Amino acid sequence: MSLTNVRVVLVRPHYAGNLGSVARVMRNFGLADLVLVAPYALPTDLDARRLATHGLPLLDAARIVPDLGAALADCAFTLATSSLTAGVARRGMTGTAAELMPRLLEAAADGPVGLVFGPEPHGLSNDEIGRCHGLVHIPVDPDFTSLNLAQAVAICCYELRKAFSAAATASNPADTHAPKVASHAEQERMYEHLREAFAAVGYLFGGRADSLMHAVRQFLGRANPTPQEVKLMHGLARQLLFAAGKAPHRGEPGG
């Protein structure tokens, strides 16, 4: 599964700074196909290039087309975006970015797909939304529903990347394995070393020594320490013994 078939389409973008910010966020999340429909702002504008940072190659490669049909002509599946969901044209397959990005990613396995964003002043028209297969709605405070173009792109790209990572993990079950936990014997040697070191510096003493050490064992045990973390605890114990003027613990690995 790849993100190379996912196309970001900006319809009549007005502000060059948004072009640069969109190119940057696309680069952040591994997307590279940017299409501009009848843009007012151009990729060559200074503000666009200033805000693109490492996204300049995307700006330079961005295609400019006259209308939405040309931008989506080869796309098998498309999603529009809007802060408004009321009206006949905006019904149908409507959902959040988290809900719909997995569907977009699935369709991308068979060919180009499009994620369409409207112009900053008013967003996509009903006709433009109606030409897409679904509508992405980003839940925001109802008192202020207007979201910056580049921020909307960032949210959708983030959810798309999450879906991509989840799919990659599912296809490689070995990647889901938890880090290796140190063996019981390795942990016991660590506890023995720590007990000796704590006693040497006066942390364990008298009748409370066993209960304190039990508490230490409990919280370290809940962490399921890895072999590397066990070595870290051996290093702590070694330095405590050194500070107390005691000989190294003979049970320490390598000791």
- Verify that 145 and 236 share a domain, yes or no: no
Residue where a domain terminates, one of 175, 192, 221: 175
Torsion of CA 49, 75, 119, 141, to 10 degrees: -110
Containing structural domain, residue 220:
184-243
- Verify that 196 and 160 share a domain, yes or no: no
- pLDDT tens digits in sequence order for the chain, 255 residues long: 679 999 999 999 999 999 999 999 999 999 999 999 999 999 999 999 999 989 999 999 999 999 999 999 999 899 999 876 555 545 557 899 999 999 999 999 888 999 999 999 889 998 898 888 889 998 888 888 778 999 999 999 999 999 999 888 776 655 555 578 888 888 889 999 999 999 999 998 888 888 889 888 888 888 888 999 999 999 999 999 999 888 776 555 554
- Verify that 10 and 124 share a domain, yes or no: yes
CATH of the domain at 204: 1.10.8
* Residue 206 to residue 239: CA distance in whole angstroms: 23
Q: What is the pLDDT of residue 69?
A: 93
Whose structure tokens read 């190379």?
A: 4
- Verify that 117 and 195 share a domain, yes or no: no
* Residue 110 to residue 74: CA distance in whole angstroms: 11
- Verify that 131 and 58 share a domain, yes or no: yes
- Verify that 124 and 233 share a domain, yes or no: no
Q: What is the pLDDT of residue 1?
A: 62
Buried b / exposed e across 38-76, counting CB within 10 Å, b at 16+? ebebebebeebbebbeebbebbeebeebeebeebbeebe
Tokens found for residue 49: 């290039």
* Residue 67 to residue 36: CA distance in whole angstroms: 9
Q: What is the pLDDT of residue 255?
A: 46
Number of domains into which the chain is organized: 2
- Verify that 50 and 11 share a domain, yes or no: yes
- Verify that 171 and 199 share a domain, yes or no: no
Q: Quickly list DSSP for 27-74.
A: HHTT--EEEEES-SS-TTSHHHHHHHGGGHHHHHH-EEESSHHHHHTT
Q: What is the pLDDT of residue 84?
A: 67
Backbone angles phi, psi at 205, to 5 degrees: -155, 155
219 part of a folded domain = yes
Q: Return the closest-CA partner of residue 187 out of 216, 212, 163, 207.
A: 216
168 part of a folded domain = yes
228 part of a folded domain = yes
Please state the pTM of the whole predicted model.
0.69
- Verify that 167 and 212 share a domain, yes or no: no
